[in-house]
């Protein structure tokens, strides 16, 4: 139980709801990141991924070829998926 949730984005379309009871009872730590700090996190992630220290397959729900770009963007915009990866 417990863990960290880092939010690395800006959300449109209103204010997202945060289930505060889940945060409290699961002992979660929330952290929002944008701008300059967000770019340094990409460097950290690249390092972790290149050394196979994280299993990203748990969050990737779709893999598509570059020819399916528009479909992939639509899928991601609908928000009913994890990460969508474009292979090219």
The label of the residue with tokens 């609908």 reads: 78
Of residues 85, 45, 78, 77, the one with CA closest to residue 61: 85
Which pLDDT score, from 0 to 100, does residue 51 have? 93
**Polymer length of the chain:** 88
The secondary structure of the chain in percent helix, strand, coil, rounded to multiples of 5, reads 45, 25, 35
34 and 64 co-located in one domain: no
Which pLDDT score, from 0 to 100, does residue 9 have? 65
Which pLDDT score, from 0 to 100, does residue 13 have? 72
11 and 22 co-located in one domain: yes
- Measured from the Cβ of residue 53, the count of other Cβ atoms closer than 10 Å reads 8
Q: Could you say which residues of the chain have pLDDT below 70?
A: 1, 6, 8-12, 35-38
34 and 74 co-located in one domain: no
45 and 3 co-located in one domain: yes
Which structural domain, as residue segments, surrounds residue 21?
1-54
What is the count of structural domains for the chain? 2
8 and 43 co-located in one domain: yes
Is 30 in contact with 5 (CB distance < 8 Å)? yes
Q: Indicate the pTM of the whole model.
A: 0.47
């Amino acid at each position: 139980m417990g863990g960290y949730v880092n939010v690395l984005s800006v959300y449109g379309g209103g204010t997202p709801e945060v289930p505060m009871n889940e945060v409290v009872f699961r002992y979660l730590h929330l952290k929002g990141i944008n701008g300059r700090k967000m770019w340094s996190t990409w460097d950290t992630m690249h390092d972790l991924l290149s050394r196979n220290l994280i299993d990203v397959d748990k969050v990737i729900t779709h893999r598509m070829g570059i020819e399916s770009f528009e479909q992939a963007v639509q899928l991601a915009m609908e928000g009913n998926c994890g990460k969508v990866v474009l292979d090219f």
